[in-house]
Amino acid sequence: MTLEEARERAATLRSEIERHNDLYYRAAAPEISDREYDALVEELAAIEREFPELASPDSPTQQVGSDLTEDFPTVEYRVPMLSIENSYNEDEVREFDRRVREGLKLPEGEAVDYTVELKVDGVAVSILYENGRLVRGVTRGDGRQGDDITPNIKTIPAIPNKLKQDISGELEVRGEIYLERKAFEKINAQRQREIEEIEQLNEELKRAGKRLRKLPILYANARNLTAGTLKQKNRRIVRERPLSIFVHGAGYTNVESLPDRHSELLKFFEKLGLRTNPHTRKVRGLDGIREAIQEWEVKRTELTYDTDGLVIKVDRRDWQERLGATSKNPRWAIAYKFSAEEGESVLESVDWQVGRTGAVTPVANLRPVQLAGTTVRRATLHNVDELERLSIRVGDRVIVQKGGEIIPKVVRVLEDQRTGKEEEIPIPETCPSCGTDLVRPEEEVALRCINSACPAQVRERIRHYASRNAMDIDGLGEKIVDQLVDAELVTAIPDLYTLTAEQLATLEGFKEKKIENLLAALDASRGQTLARFLFAIGIRYVGATTANDLARHFGTFDAFRKASHEDLLAVDGVGEKVATSIRQFWENEQNSAMVDRLLELGVNPPPEKAPAAAPAERSEDFDGRTFVLTGELDGMTREEAKAEIERRGGRVTGSVSGKTSVVVTGAKPGSKLDKAKRLGITTWDGDTFREKLARSS
């Protein structure tokens, strides 16, 4: 793979990973399994290892996914709430054990004590107690900050508002809030009755020529229902749903004399009145882990709640501290994911759904089947190529797979059980939302609707535009977007900025304060940052990371819009595919008109400013010289190194040429070092670089 190919593939992967993060954490509608998601992240990480110049601190490989929403205040963690690395087989668990023993410098053959806990399929939270009293409850968020949901946490009977024993100081416990499977099924059964009642009402309204009521949908699974419940504004709804919790660890604490073993810490929590999982146990080395995996691969079906794996933790807490963590994962823990569950069903029909970019994809409607603790009625079929690969027909008996947080998917057809009555699946020629003729671009697997005014696309584009990583418009969630589009008050993104109080007052649930807040949030978004705006307008392949790169490089929206194909290729992280997509976006008259209209309505992203840095003395080592960075610098990020060079009068570029003065090399340098040697350019290793910095500070 060449550097240019790597840059293009990395940009595509980052965009795709960010999309799946958004689906998982904010929309609660994942499209792929944890295993498939991990494969995308690992491919990106491999590219960044081979080409260190493509790595950046804001890469998805360095970040924890986020469930932050616009509806709650955020709280900064004093100890990051990191995610746990996944493993899927015994070899990966064995490699984890090797890394632990190597990191601790243990003698050959010495086994490590681990705790093995069930990985409950719920929602991670942090709960802070001060002198034994509950003062705050926070979601995991992005690992650095989370949503403050204290009022909702206090309604859950399983979480004590006061601990059983008096303790002095602050104790932050972390756990998983979940819903029992029977409770989930009961709530969904009630929702099904509501759907049937509204369907009957709609028949009467239709006959009377009146506007129909919108049908609610069934909840996908217990985890999604739990996540939605915790983000409710109405505490009564939270109180009515029997949420529970298992506490599994500690965050920040200044309580003295806590147990020095994780297994003992959990027993201490029990004495305080906190619920811990009764199936947690301490094991010795790999043999103990292997026995636990073999046991729970079978026994998990007997549980009354959903679990998708086991969490394996080093038991000694001082060893946990010694092992430390990456920016994303603790090095002292790993999750072992159970194999995906399969079930047999019948394909009853196929729907075609339209996404934000116009991609039209098939969704299977199935005869209900119990799978991984939920009743599955729909499954993804991905695209037309997948239909052909499966050779699937309506009426086929099919095998459906579901593992962890995956939306179910049809994995194979039981062709030997065909009766001859099965029907071919017609491929649509027109958009199911707007009727426009569909196209299938070369080298793509997706059918596409090219009508930018398509209602389904409009709905998804507005949701994207208003989302937290984009324009972050407080109060403009999915339900509100649906109301605005259904009432035809908004038919394109710019219409958001023409909404009036009188128009909003016609919508159900909109009182004076809600109207005032939404209009204020829309007005505030006019000054959103350039990076967020570039992400929000929906250029294909331009994810949040690439948008940041573009904003930093061009500085102003006008400069970005005027950038040529060659100008775009000069941006770190932008390859041929992304540059072509950006130019095609501007060549489309509808896109240009949409952006022009936004600018006319006062959307005005301010110029991107480089962060101010304290001045440093200029020196002959740096002043007026051009630097290139390659490899991993110990104790310093690429951005920090660049800032230090620029403070001293130097300039940093992304590629080695005859104009380069110095190439700074860290661990695992890339092809830039080879080119520097060929050109006879001076190279500094990490130690030399730090010496030069110290001498000129």
Condensed to tens digits (0 to 9), the pLDDT of residues 215-243 reads: 777 777 788 889 889 988 888 899 999 99
Sorting pLDDT into bands at 50, 70 and 90, what band is 406? low
| Dist. CA 109–CA 98, nearest whole Å | 10
- Choose among 641, 647, 633: nearest CA to 686: 633
pLDDT value at residue 618 = 60
Is the pLDDT at 259 greater than 90, yes or no?
Answer: yes
The question of whether 119 is a catalytic residue gets the answer yes
Query: Beta strands 74-76 and 123-130: pairing type?
Result: unpaired
pLDDT value at residue 654 = 67
* From 264-268, 403-407, 570-574, the region with the lowest mean pLDDT: 403-407
Is the pLDDT at 34 greater than 90, yes or no?
Answer: no
Is the pLDDT at 379 greater than 70, yes or no?
Answer: yes
Condensed to tens digits (0 to 9), the pLDDT of residues 70-106 reads: 668 888 899 988 889 988 888 999 999 999 999 999 9
Distance of CA 662 to the CA centre of its chain: 38
* From 25-29, 184-188, 324-328, 454-458, the region with the lowest mean pLDDT: 25-29
Burial of 148 (0-12, 13-18, 19+ CB in 10 A): middle
pLDDT value at residue 157 = 93
pLDDT value at residue 679 = 83
Helix (H) or strand (E) holding 284: strand 281-284
pLDDT value at residue 612 = 44
Is the pLDDT at 399 greater than 80, yes or no?
Answer: yes
CA distances from 429 to 348, 451, 454 (A): 21, 14, 15
The DSSP secondary structure of 117-159, one letter per residue, reads EEEESSEEEEEEEETTEEEEEEE-TTSSEEEB-HHHHTT-TTS
| Dist. CA 464–CA 471, nearest whole Å | 9
Condensed to tens digits (0 to 9), the pLDDT of residues 295-319 reads: 998 888 889 998 889 999 999 999 9
Alpha helices, H only, 120-261? 150-153, 181-207, 222-230, 235-240
pLDDT value at residue 341 = 74
pLDDT value at residue 96 = 95
pLDDT value at residue 614 = 43
pLDDT value at residue 70 = 61
Contact 395, 427 (CB under 8 A): no
Q: What is the mean pLDDT of residues 497-524?
A: 92
The rounded percent of the chain whose pLDDT value lies above 70 is 92
| Dist. CA 633–CA 357, nearest whole Å | 39
Is the pLDDT at 453 greater than 80, yes or no?
Answer: no
| Dist. CA 644–CA 697, nearest whole Å | 9
If one compares 163 and 547, the residue with the highest pLDDT of the two is 163
The DSSP secondary structure of 291-360, one letter per residue, reads HHHHHHHHHGGG-SS-EEEEEEEESBHHHHHHH-B-SSSBTTEEEEEPPPEEEEEEEEEEEEEE-TT-EE
Average pLDDT, the chain: 86
Q: What is the mean pLDDT of residues 121-131?
A: 94
The rounded percent of the chain whose pLDDT value lies above 90 is 41
Instruction: For each of the domains in the chain, give its residue range(s) and CATH number, in order of start.
Output: 76-181+224-337 (3.30.470.30), 341-439 (2.40.50.140), 455-600 (1.10.150.20), 626-695 (3.40.50.10190)
Residue with tokens 């939404």: 518
Q: Give, in degrees to the nearest 5, the angle at Cα 86 between 80 and 88.
A: 170
Active-site annotation holder among 119, 231, 328, 642: 119
Q: Which of 21-25, 275-279, 336-340, 446-450 has the highest mean pLDDT?
A: 275-279
